[in-house]
Amino acid sequence: MKNIDSDKHLRGESLYLDDLPTLQGSLHAMVFASPTAHGLLQKLELEEARKSCGVWGILTARDIPGENQIGNIIPDEPLFAEKEIHYRGQPIALILAESREAARQARQKIKVEIEEFPAVTTAEEAFEKGMFITEPRTFTMGDVDRAFAKCAHVFEGKTFTNGQEHLYLETQAAYAIPAEGDQIKIISSTQGPSQVQKAAAQVLGLPMHKIEVEVIRLGGGFGGKEDQATPWAVMAALGAQLSRRPVKLVLSRSDDLLMTGKRHPYSARFKIGLDENLKILAYEARFLQNAGAAADLSPAVAERTLFHATNSYFVKNARLSVYSCRTHLPPNTAFRGFGGPQGMFVMEAAIALAAQKLKIEARHIQQANLLQEGDRFPYGQRAEQALARKSWETAYLHYKADDLCRKAEDFNKKHEYIKKGVAFMPICFGISFTNTPMNQARALVHVYRDGSVGISTGAVEMGQGVNTKMLQVAASCFSIQPERIKIETTNTTRVANTSPSAASATSDLNGKALLKACEQIKKRLLKTAAKELKTNPQKISLQNECVLIDKKDSGLRWEELVQTALLQRVSLSETAHYATPKIRFDKKREKGRPFSYHVYGTAIITAKVDGLRGTYQIESVQIAHDFGKSMNTAIDLGQVEGGLVQGLGWMCMEELAYDKNGRLLSNALSTYKIPDLFSVPERIEVVPLEDEGHEAAILKSKAVGEPPLMYGIGAYFAILNAMRAFQSDLEPFFNAPMTPEKVLTGLLKKQVKNKPLHVEKRQIG
Amino acid sequence: MKISLTVNGKQYAHEVEPRMSLTHYLREVLNLTGTHIGCDTSSCGACTVLLDGVAVKSCTILAVQADGCEVTTIEGLAQGSDLHPIQEAFREHHGLQCGFCTPGMVMTAVDILQNNPNPSEEEIRHGLEGNFCRCTGYHNIVKSIQHAAEKINA
Ligand code: FES
Ligand code: FES
């Protein structure tokens, strides 16, 4: 089934937040943010700006009737800075004006004096200085020290992975409209409407029922609108509360880049120990997470780093710890993968280093350690329906990996200045919010008397196709035409206390709740039909809009059935609740069964590197992916391709740069490069694993949002392997993204030492 | 300043600020919100429209520069219930996810196929160089345009 929004998208009729007709009397808001990363606010001069043409007013912390606090996990984030400044781009004031232009002009007239202090921008420095968001966390399994003592080979190293800008094409936006009395309706471009509602209630000093939050759709989210859509929505609401006029706040791209957090940069140290047979006996890693200036979702992201620190491998003895470090960057936040990719990168780096030192290919170590059924993860859960090996073997056979590697070797023998590298990237990603209470959802279904159906859930459509999947769930349950079904906006008055659309779990959670609601209505309808047709309900079924008795058409149609039910005063509405069963986690022991299931897969990545220029091309990415029983192959394949390319961007080209004063240097699309049409792989192939699917997945179709991003990690190692083909004793380095500059300097390092050669093979060639 | 122009076949005349961009004119004055703003600095291509038949990033054009011109936006492409073959192909081949880049992609594709009814994959990539998509990874977009070309030429 096609994405149900396709037609509207293609006609330009879909409404994103900024497309909503502006109500009469609307004000436009613009944020005035700190130009300094760290300091004390000494003076804020607003008078001149207030007098500026078309300005309604300028709001600061002082105007807040409730609490100046929007922190989600930890209350450490004011909506507006009062005295202390913690990052460049931190909101200080909100300008409300008759037009965006008037607001912009007023903003230029605001003067601020800040006593500036040195800024801390790296996790290492914050770690040295003891600046932390929370207590560190450590997962341990086995006896690590003893195991290391027994290892035949032990290697140590360090890594860095940079942050990543979400670059959702639609910037952050909100529109708040005052309603009767002191109520406010907020239309927000958020992945987490209930979080917006809660924060707005807190800041506005109102109970949550007075705040209605509605989401139509998002022009991309990727985690960047999970928690960080909140400030803008709350500001718009505050503006509407105080002015009693509708307030629209749409961040310009440059404000969005400046003021919002990104994927967390991580610095890590690792130690890996192997036995003679390449079995990983022990692994130790210490992660320093650059959380930025406030907690945001960082503690949860840090946790997931530990959950995925051993990727798809069974590591009997592991000690993994993470420190969430407070720096003077914008609070870093959720981004597809949510800390998992950062953890996996380090494991892959450790394997690559071991392979290099042992003069073998990394794939031999990878293959020898893949998870098997029943193996334990360091957090205590056992691998069930483990598909690590199956995905590896499927990729290996399907894409004829031996040939592939041989061909690359042949190519490398024949080419002096261009070399190919092949890397394997197995993935294993846990599905569920690791904060167990968040794994719940509700749905509301109305069947109208004309037979049409309206569905509300807590799911937010942001391009991932969740609305299409929800529609499929309902259509298959009722066995009616999709045209009869409408997916309503996500609205907190219809479905309350929702978890954000995140953790790849949106379709599972909301779909399961929806299915329950539909089944309840269906049960009542079948009973009605049985009564009408004078038979018993067990004999009745629905198919293609018809009521069947013993699988034969009874002549009764869907519309008539609905009519009959209504006349017989049978409820045609239902709400249902779903809570993921069998999951738990004990944070004291750091053990439990946090995930409902795991998603597996293996990618083979081939890269071609130009040793003279440092440039490279990802030639192909060939994937065997565990979709379960995909309920929508077009959407799921789209998620794999899109996720993969985002992962490649993070690993290869997207270079987030701050100077030492915390100033964002990559502050425009011209200086921050995301994958364009030329940087994507020439070929992406995906083969689904033959698989039963998982009971906990909606219609056994496994979650697909985040896992594919991690295939991108393989690109780093494919490039590194190509560099190894230039120089067999290359000192591997693990500093992502692997930009062409780094390729070149990496290759040059040795040449400088040994003087004049470009590349080692030149001597031979 | 006073401008008059044709947008999607309809005549308009308006008094506009000299610094108003064509994007803002289309979105705010004509309420044609299918033309999106992804960057406002001519980097993303989300705002692409046809100006006298040529694809332009409307955020870099002033409304006054479009005076006397013919503009086609995404809303003007389909003929009633019939989608343009390019729109049809994007639908068929899943060339979109969140849909935010889609109008710009489609309008650029119209221009590509106008100039070159039989583009190679490489030529399609070149033509779309100035358009970003953060969701799809581009493969389905390229595929959609290839299929559209086949259909138009058939
Ligand atoms: S909005 Fe015009 S190019 Fe991005
Ligand atoms: S479909 Fe979302 S940016 Fe292209």
Write the pLDDT tens digit of every residue in A336-368: 999 999 999 999 999 999 999 999 999 999 999
Amino acid at B47: C
Write the pLDDT tens digit of every residue in A244-296: 999 999 999 999 999 999 999 999 999 999 999 999 999 999 999 999 999 99
Q: Is the CB of B37 under 6 A from ligand 1?
A: yes
What is the DSSP code (8-state) at residue B130? T
Alpha carbon of residue A695 to chain centroid: 23
3-state secondary structure A725-743: HHCCCCCCCCEECCCHHHH
pLDDT band at A405 (very low <50, low <70, confident <90, very high): very high
Residues A253 and A290 in one domain: no
What average pLDDT does this structure show over A543-568?
Answer: 97
- Active-site residue numbers of A? 706
**Residues of B whose CB is below 8 A from A634:** 94
Tell which of B57, B58, B74, B100 to mutate to test the A interface (max A CBs under 10 Å).
B100
- Distance from C-alpha of A735 to C-alpha of A267, rounded to nearest angstrom: 9
pLDDT higher than 50, residue A195? yes
Amino acid at A724: R
Residues A572 and A655 in one domain: no
Tell me chain B's radius of gyration from C-alpha atoms: 15
The count of structural domains within chain B is: 2
Write the pLDDT tens digit of every residue in A177-191: 999 999 999 999 999
What average pLDDT does this structure show over A696-713?
Answer: 97
Q: What percent of chain A has pLDDT over 90?
A: 97
Q: Judge whether A679 lies within some domain.
A: yes
Alpha-carbon gap: A87 to the closest alpha carbon of chain B (Å): 23
Write the pLDDT tens digit of every residue in A96-106: 999 999 999 99
Dihedral angle sign, alpha carbons of residues A377, A715, A669, B136: negative
**Residues of B whose CB is below 8 A from A28:** none
The helix/strand/coil state of A238 is helix
Residues A327 and A206 in one domain: no
Q: What is the pLDDT of residue A751?
A: 60
Contact B97 A645 (CB under 8 A): no
For ligand 1, pick from B21, B36, B44, B49 the residue to mutate: most ligand atoms within 8 Å of CB.
B44
Q: Which two tokens stand for residue A537?
A: 């309900």
Decide the pairing of beta strands A616-625 and A247-250.
Answer: unpaired
Write the pLDDT tens digit of every residue in A620-642: 999 999 999 999 999 999 999 99
Strand ordering across the sheet containing B54-57: B10-15, B2-7, B70-72, B48-51, B54-57
Q: Judge whether A680 lies within some domain.
A: yes
Q: How far, in Å, is the centroid of ligand 1 from the Cα of B122?
A: 23
Given a contact cutoff of 8 angstroms between Cβ atoms, the answer to whether A216 and A456 are in contact is: no
- Distance from C-alpha of A515 to C-alpha of A478, rounded to nearest angstrom: 10
* Of A579, A611, A646, the domain-final residue: A579
Residues B10 and B72 in one domain: yes
pLDDT band at A670 (very low <50, low <70, confident <90, very high): very high
CATH number at residue A188: 3.90.1170.50
> Where are any strands of DSSP class E within A117-164?
137-141, 153-161
Strand-pair partners of A571: none
- Distance from C-alpha of A685 to C-alpha of A54, rounded to nearest angstrom: 55
Residues in chain A: 765
* Of B76, B101, B127, the domain-final residue: B76
The count of structural domains within chain A is: 3
Q: Which two tokens stand for residue A417?
A: 């200045």
Write the pLDDT tens digit of every residue in A67-100: 999 999 999 999 999 999 999 999 999 999 999 9
Residues 6 or more apart in contact with residue A710 via CB below 8 angstroms: A337, A340, A341, A344, A425, A427, A429, A647
Residues A231 and A246 in one domain: yes
Given a contact cutoff of 8 angstroms between Cβ atoms, the answer to whether A174 and A17 are in contact is: yes
Decide the pairing of beta strands A153-161 and A266-274.
Answer: antiparallel
Torsion angles phi and psi, residue B138, rounded to 5: 75, -25
Q: What is the pLDDT of residue A690?
A: 86
Residues A493 and A610 in one domain: no
What average pLDDT does this structure show over A642-648?
Answer: 98
Burial of A343-378, coded b for 16+ CB within 10 Å and e otherwise, reads bbbbbbbbbbbbbbebeebbbebbbebbbeeebbbb
Residues B53 and B115 in one domain: no
- Distance from C-alpha of A191 to C-alpha of A76, rounded to nearest angstrom: 21
Residues B146 and B95 in one domain: yes
Contact B98 A670 (CB under 8 A): no
Residues 6 or more apart in contact with residue A756 via CB below 8 angstroms: none
pLDDT higher than 60, residue B19? yes
Alpha-carbon gap: A681 to the closest alpha carbon of chain B (Å): 9
Q: Is the CB of B92 under 6 A from ligand 1?
A: no
- Distance from C-alpha of A369 to C-alpha of A362, rounded to nearest angstrom: 11
- Distance from C-alpha of B94 to C-alpha of B145, rounded to nearest angstrom: 11
Strand-pair partners of A683: A620
Q: Is the CB of B38 under 6 A from ligand 1?
A: yes
Could you list the residue range(s) of the whole structural domain that residue B50 is in? Answer: 2-76
Given a contact cutoff of 8 angstroms between Cβ atoms, the answer to whether B84 and B144 are in contact is: no
Q: Which of A192, A169, A216, A189 is nearest to A467 (CA)?
A: A216
The helix/strand/coil state of A430 is strand
Tell me chain A's radius of gyration from C-alpha atoms: 27
Alpha carbon of residue A82 to chain centroid: 31
Could you list the residue range(s) of the whole structural domain that residue A240 is in? Answer: 6-117+167-259
Alpha carbon of residue A21 to chain centroid: 30
Q: What is the pLDDT of residue A764?
A: 33
Size of interface A-B (CB pairs under 8 A): 158
- Distance from C-alpha of A284 to C-alpha of A733, rounded to nearest angstrom: 18
Which residues have any ligand 2 atom within 6 Å of their CB?
A: A 169, 220, 463; B 96-102, 133-136
Residues A343 and A458 in one domain: no
Write the pLDDT tens digit of every residue in A251-262: 999 999 999 999
Partner residue facing B98 (CB), from A2, A18, A218: A218
- Neighbour tally for A125: CB within 10 Å: 17
Amino acid at A499: S
What is the DSSP code (8-state) at residue A166? -
Q: Judge whether A245 lies within some domain.
A: yes
What average pLDDT does this structure show over A666-695?
Answer: 94
* Of A208, A224, A259, the domain-final residue: A259
Dihedral angle sign, alpha carbons of residues B30, B32, B37, B43: negative
E strand or H helix that includes residue A365? helix A362-368
What average pLDDT does this structure show over A701-716?
Answer: 98
Q: To the nearest whole number, what is the mean pLDDT of chain A? A: 96
Write the pLDDT tens digit of every residue in A215-225: 999 999 999 99
Q: Which two tokens stand for residue A578?
A: 């779903």
CA distances from A599 to A242, A418, A640, A703, A728 (A): 48, 36, 12, 7, 35
pLDDT higher than 50, residue B85? yes
Q: What is the pLDDT of residue A760?
A: 42
Q: How far, in Å, is the centroid of ligand 2 from the Cα of A263?
A: 19
Q: Is the CB of B40 under 6 A from ligand 1?
A: yes
**Residues of A whose CB is below 8 A from B32:** 12
**Residues of A whose CB is below 8 A from B136:** 638, 641-642, 645
pLDDT band at A538 (very low <50, low <70, confident <90, very high): very high
CATH number at residue A646: 3.30.365.10
The helix/strand/coil state of A485 is strand
Residues B65 and B18 in one domain: yes
Write the pLDDT tens digit of every residue in A199-210: 999 999 999 999
**Helix%, strand%, coil% for chain A, nearest 5:** 35, 25, 40
Residues 6 or more apart in contact with residue A685 via CB below 8 angstroms: A399, A620, A621, A622, A623
Residues A336 and A380 in one domain: yes
Q: Is the CB of B26 under 6 A from ligand 1?
A: no
Give the nearest chain A residue to B129 (CA atoms): A677
Residues B98 and B135 in one domain: yes
Contact A7 B91 (CB under 8 A): yes
What average pLDDT does this structure show over A446-475?
Answer: 98
Residues B72 and B8 in one domain: yes
Q: How far, in Å, is the centroid of ligand 1 from the Cα of B45?
A: 5
Residues B69 and B91 in one domain: no
What is the value of pTM for the model shown? 0.96
Residues A553 and A600 in one domain: no
- Distance from C-alpha of A47 to C-alpha of A558, rounded to nearest angstrom: 66
pLDDT band at A763 (very low <50, low <70, confident <90, very high): very low
Residues A485 and A350 in one domain: no
Q: Judge whether A763 lies within some domain.
A: no
Strand-pair partners of B80: none
Torsion angles phi and psi, residue A42, rounded to 5: -100, -40
CATH number at residue B106: 1.10.150.120
- Distance from C-alpha of A141 to C-alpha of A146, rounded to nearest angstrom: 12
Q: Judge whether A13 lies within some domain.
A: yes
* Of A579, A603, A620, the domain-final residue: A579
Residues B61 and B43 in one domain: yes
Cis peptide before A737 (omega within 30 of 0): yes
Longest CA span, chain B? 46
Contact A3 B135 (CB under 8 A): no
- Distance from C-alpha of A505 to C-alpha of A488, rounded to nearest angstrom: 19
For ligand 2, pick from B39, B93, B96 the residue to mutate: most ligand atoms within 8 Å of CB.
B96
Residues B93 and B148 in one domain: yes
Residues B90 and B66 in one domain: no
Interface contact A218, partner B, CB < 8 A: yes
CATH number at residue B64: 3.10.20.30
Contact B41 A670 (CB under 8 A): yes
Instruction: Locate the ligand 2 atom nearest the alpha carbon of residue A463 and give its number.
Output: 2
Residues A367 and A276 in one domain: yes
What average pLDDT does this structure show over A412-432?
Answer: 98
Decide the pairing of beta strands A39-45 and A111-116.
Answer: antiparallel
Which residue do the tokens 């409307």 mark? B58
| Predicted ipTM beyond 0.95 | yes
What average pLDDT does this structure show over A400-416?
Answer: 98
Partner residue facing B83 (CB), from A10, A19, A166: A10
3-state secondary structure A625-681: ECCECCCCHHHHHHHHHHHHHHHHHHHHHCCCCECCCCCECCCCCCCCCCCCCCCCC
Alpha-carbon gap: B154 to the closest alpha carbon of chain A (Å): 22
What average pLDDT does this structure show over A24-38?
Answer: 98
Interface contact A465, partner B, CB < 8 A: yes
Decide the pairing of beta strands B70-72 and B2-7.
Answer: parallel
What is the DSSP code (8-state) at residue A80? S
- Distance from C-alpha of A524 to C-alpha of A342, rounded to nearest angstrom: 49
Q: Judge whether A304 lies within some domain.
A: yes
Q: Judge whether A639 lies within some domain.
A: yes
Q: What are the DSSP calls for A400-425, one per residue?
A: THHHHHHHHHHHHHH-SSEEEEEEEE
pLDDT band at A691 (very low <50, low <70, confident <90, very high): confident
What average pLDDT does this structure show over A187-199?
Answer: 98
Q: How far, in Å, is the centroid of ligand 2 from the Cα of A352?
A: 34
Write the pLDDT tens digit of every residue in B27-73: 999 999 999 999 989 999 999 999 999 999 999 999 999 999 999 99
Q: Which two tokens stand for residue A698?
A: 């909606």
What average pLDDT does this structure show over A496-501?
Answer: 97
Contact B100 A220 (CB under 8 A): yes
Per-window interface: A 382-421 vs B, CB < 8 A:
none
Residues A391 and A376 in one domain: yes
Residues B33 and B93 in one domain: no
Residues A614 and A749 in one domain: yes
Closest ligand (CA of B106): 2
Given a contact cutoff of 8 angstroms between Cβ atoms, the answer to whether A703 and B150 are in contact is: no
